[in-house]
A = this chain, B = another copy of it.
Amino acid sequence: MNQPIDLAVVGATGLVGETFLDLIEKKKIPVGKVRLFASEKSEGLKRTVCGVDRPIESLKAGCFDGLQLAFFSSGDDISKEWAPQAAKAGAYAIDNSAAFRMDPKISLVVPEVNANTIPKTPSIIANPNCSTIQLVVALSALKKFGLKAVRVASYQAASGAGKLAQQELLSQTKQGLTQDLTSTQFPVSLAFNCVPQIGSFNADGLCSEEVKIQKETKKILNLPSLYVSAFTVRVPAWNAHSEAVWIELEKEVSREQILAALHDQPGLQINNEIERYPHARMADGQDPVFVGRIHRDSEDTKTWRMWIVADNLLKGAALNGLQIAERIFAR
């Protein structure tokens, strides 16, 4: 990545878009043109990227011309309409929405897991769901032992629901405990609560976040018939998602083998000393996927349980997208 890249960020004023721009500066990615897109209400605002003031623009025909990379994090509808145009204009369109993830023609990429699926020519590349990414980084390490079933209960932070949601959690929390709090960003008030709904429900009683984890995990791991059952819950954590995971393996393996496999997994950091498990506050702002509380299920010798935590804005979104870009432009 020595040649400057001409790029666009669509959704530049959202939490993930801002995190992507922060990462470009922090990791000193060489950039040329940087075009920032957001909704019309942000038009006319400016944002400094790599020392240069850049205007916030609205999307319009031809806006991706001459760019090599476009990072999208602005919702499914915007991506459906504009990501194909970016790809057609010759840019790699790394899309953080759910619009293309399950499209069989589109690669769904976590670089440490399936970098081999990154396309060789400009096209749309899907960035997986935040809670999926941290899960598959750990699962990938154990795939060689034969994955039989994966059950995950998630503890997902407010930041996954966006900037307004974080602000709402804060104001609800300040209003305290006794009042009947109103909620617009969450289905019910999240302050001092747990809400077992992320997204909307389907006819089978699953919410969309659960469907995402289940389908995306199978696709990324290239294990279409793997048992993956996810129960997703929003908790009043500020940032970083946590997951309690049961991993049932085909065969019995030793604790040393499990730890060695996880240790060798790029992108994964083991914090497994007693009482030194990872947690959301410590993962906030950190790049790796953290794993701790790694232990054999007392009820089944082939099942391993662990606690997986990652910053959902970083590895769960912007950082994973940037890592895909780094793989592309390192070629």
A residues contacting B by CB (< 8 A) are: 149, 151, 153, 155, 173, 177, 187-189, 192-197, 201, 204-206, 214, 227-229, 231, 233, 235-238, 242, 244, 246, 274-275, 277, 279-282, 292-300, 303, 305, 307
Is there contact, CB below 8 Å, between A244 and B153? yes
Is there contact, CB below 8 Å, between B214 and A298? yes
Is there contact, CB below 8 Å, between A204 and B298? yes
Is there contact, CB below 8 Å, between A205 and B280? no
List the B residue with the shortest CB-CB distance to A195: B279
Which chain B residues lie closer than 8 Å to A177 at the CB level? 238
Is there contact, CB below 8 Å, between B298 and A196? no
- Shortest distance in angstroms between A321's beta carbon and chain B's nearest beta carbon? 25
Q: How far is the CA of A298 from the CA of B201 in the complex (A)?
A: 13
Which chain B residues lie closer than 8 Å to A228 at the CB level? 299
- Shortest distance in angstroms between A270's beta carbon and chain B's nearest beta carbon? 13
Is there contact, CB below 8 Å, between A155 and B194? yes
Is there contact, CB below 8 Å, between A155 and B233? yes
Q: How far is the CA of A244 from the CA of B229 in the complex (A)?
A: 12
Q: How far is the CA of A205 from the CA of B153 in the complex (A)?
A: 19
Interface centre among A149, A189, A298 (most CB of B within 10 A): A298
Which chain B residues lie closer than 8 Å to A201 at the CB level? 274-275
Is there contact, CB below 8 Å, between A214 and B281? no
Is there contact, CB below 8 Å, between A197 and B275? yes
Is there contact, CB below 8 Å, between A196 and B237? no
Which chain B residues lie closer than 8 Å to A206 at the CB level? 295, 298
A/B interface sample: 18 pairs, CB < 8 A: A149-B299, A153-B231, A155-B194, A173-B173, A189-B281, A192-B238, A193-B238, A194-B235, A196-B244, A197-B275, A197-B277, A201-B274, A228-B299, A229-B246, A229-B298, A229-B299, A231-B244, A235-B235
Which chain B residues lie closer than 8 Å to A299 at the CB level? 149, 214, 227-229
Is there contact, CB below 8 Å, between B237 and A194? yes
Is there contact, CB below 8 Å, between A236 and B192? yes
Which chain B residues lie closer than 8 Å to A275 at the CB level? 187, 197, 201
